[in-house]
Structure 1
């Protein structure tokens, strides 16, 4: 195949990178430039990039949909628990209200400390449950 000569000016740093790559790979600079031009001018390159981006966006969309579903399940479970707890817990007598309120504050503080500790160490109930299930498959 007959080749045409091209004269082009490039930045000195780019030329040095081209020269170093040519020496390192032991191939002529012309071959590197031809491959780079072919890749740049190839219509498939743009289509491949677009397809890769579309695949990534699809994967992100599915991931966000799973997160949204999981969050909806969690919110519904919490709401059902609170409703059940509120309907089954009898009201406190007036004479024990102050002591119960103080105990409630104490328990809530303990809950917040435990939650903070578990979140900071990445120890989640879901991981605990899956670990226990793996350790005891009969459960």
Structure 2
């Protein structure tokens, strides 16, 4: 048996009335059903717990995203540091007579590097993907 229904007359701002009508139409429900559900949710004693649980899930998701971003940043920093250390220890200084030719070649090589990097960033595989494939357990971070 259904509980008796009591009629209420309330006044709502025009903007809220429009939003209520739009929401009810989108949900294919009556405006009364939408208002009943909203009041039930608002007056529910476990509403605060549900909100806290939803917020906790969202914060956990953001925390995992931040951890992945930090791992990618660490990977980039370590890759750059390793390359610089290798380059500095394996490259001998040039005599002054060869400096101009080396600078010209360096500019050309830099341009090719930037073009290659652009292509790789647009469509190619990422270093992170190669690392996780090559090193067991690296993708578990």
Instruction: Give TM-score, length-normalised by structure 2.
Output: 0.67
> What is the DSSP-based 3-state SS (H/G/I as helix, E as strand, rest coil) of the residue aligned with 2:46?
helix
Q: Is contact 2:41–2:47 with CA below 8 Å preserved after alignment?
A: yes
- Deviation string 1:78-112 (CA, Å, 9 cap, x unpaired) is 11221121111122233222111110111111111
Tell me the secondary structure at the aligned position of residue 91 of structure 1.
Answer: coil
Q: Label 1:94 to 1:34 Cα distance change in 2 as closer, same or farther (>3 A).
A: closer
Q: Once superposed, what is the RMSD of the aligned Cα atoms? A: 3.2
Deviations 1:42-63 (CA, angstroms, capped at 9, x unpaired): 1323321221122111211122
Partner of 1:17: 21
Provide structure 2 residue ranges, at least 5 long, that are not aligned to the other structure.
135-141
Which residue does the alignment assign to 1:57?
Answer: 59
Shift of residue 30, structure 1, vs aligned partner: 5.1
Tell me, yes or no, if structure 1 residue 38 matches structure 2 residue 40. Answer: yes
Hey, what's the Cα distance between the residues in 1 that align with 2:32 and 2:72?
A: 55
Say if 1:55 and 1:102 are closer, same or farther in 2 by CA, change over 3 A: same
**SS in structure 2 at match of 1:43:** coil
> What residue is the counterpart of 1:75 in the other structure?
77
Judged with a 3 Å threshold, the aligned counterparts in structure 2 of structure 1 residues 48 and 59 are, in CA distance, closer, same or farther, namely same
Q: 1:33 to 1:62 in 2, by over 3 A?
A: closer
TM-score by length of 1: 0.68
Q: Distance in 1 between matches of 2:10 and 2:127?
A: 61
Give 4+ residue runs of structure 1 displaced > 6 Å after superposition.
Answer: none
Q: Distance in 1 between matches of 2:126 and 2:34?
A: 55
Q: Which residue of 2 aligns with 1:48?
A: 50
Partners of 2:111 and 2:32 in 1: how far apart? Answer: 71
Gaps of 5+ in 1: 134-139
1: CA distance, partners of 2:35 / 2:98: 85
Q: Report how many aligned residue pairs link the two structures.
A: 126
